[in-house]
Structure 1
């Protein structure tokens, strides 16, 4: 498996494991989380599509390090995996911190 792909998959697995076994916020069961992710991915398609379009790329990828699957508009699918991990881990930590702070003020 290409390195970028392997790291992207590993980032998703680590994020889901962090939620499942450590943070336990329950955000995967909320409609708010999935609505937020839909909004994030909509903007990711616009921005990442512009940055990675093959007709005039701003960001270049080593094709040997990716699966070579680009969808939509020439976006490497690995970018969506890293996007999921980055946004989800941020939200998980934010929710966990907020609950921790609530417990201290009571």
Structure 2
């Protein structure tokens, strides 16, 4: 399996988990996309630095493009291979949807009324 195929599979799996398994439906909310825009900005800065300076290199047979770092084009956005952006999306979506799903099961217990008072406060 190539890096491209694995990245696409990762996105599909994360979307299925978000929409159908956990039913958190984060990708249908504006707040998700605003939050993700912040994450992807910093992902591009970090990934662009690492790949633009060839600290991290990719096998050109496993990614879109020829493997050489470019600012834009040839399967790259700010030096980052498109596959890295797909993997990043899948990882962040899976992590946040898992966090939201686990949080739904841990609702704060209702507090009891203090002694001598009826009802809730």
Once the two structures are superposed, residues 38-76 of structure 1 have per-residue CA deviations (whole angstroms, 9 ceiling, x without a partner) of 0011111111000001xx311110010001133323211
SS state of the match for residue 80, structure 2?
Answer: coil
**61-70 or 9-18, which moves further after superposition?**
61-70
Cα RMSD, aligned residues only? 1.5
Higher strand share: 2
Which residue of the partner structure matches residue 17 of structure 2?
18
Which residue of the partner structure matches residue 57 of structure 1?
54
Q: How far is the alpha carbon of 1:20 from its aligned partner?
A: 2.0
* TM-score, normalization by structure 1: 0.88
Which residue of the partner structure matches residue 6 of structure 1?
5
Which residue of the partner structure matches residue 109 of structure 2?
105
Q: Which runs of 4+ in 1 moved over 4 A?
A: none
* 2:26 matches 1:27: yes
Gaps of 5+ in 1: none
Higher helix share: 1
* Greater relative contact order (CA < 8 Å, ≥ 6 in sequence): 1
